Amino acid sequence: MVDARGYSCPIPVVMVQRAVKTDDPKSLTVLVDEQVCVENVTRFANAAGYKVTVSRDGDDYRMELTK
């Protein structure tokens, strides 16, 4: 899991890139709290071969990345 709440872009994208590069997970949960972070992480994840589903809980977004 990558908890990137409280960070502005591009930090959440960098955190996800590191997690993907280090572990090459088949699935990864990412927490963010800004819509722009959802868009940027989704763009990276799609380019890396992940399908992204997003749910919202109050001000937080939960992103599920799966290969």
Domains, the chain, with CATH or none: 2-66 (3.30.110.40)
Strands 51-57 and 2-3: what pairing?
Answer: unpaired
Which pTM value belongs to this model?
0.95
- Neighbouring CB atoms inside 10 A of 61's CB total 20
Read off the pLDDT of residues 8-67 as tens digits, 9 standing for 90 and up. Answer: 999 999 999 999 999 999 999 999 999 999 999 999 999 999 999 999 999 999 999 999
Q: In what order do the strands lie in the sheet with 27-32?
A: 2-3, 27-32, 60-66, 51-57
> Residue 51 has what pLDDT?
98
**What is the spatial distance between Cα 39 and Cα 35, in angstroms, rounded to a whole number?**
6
CA distance 5 to 47: 22
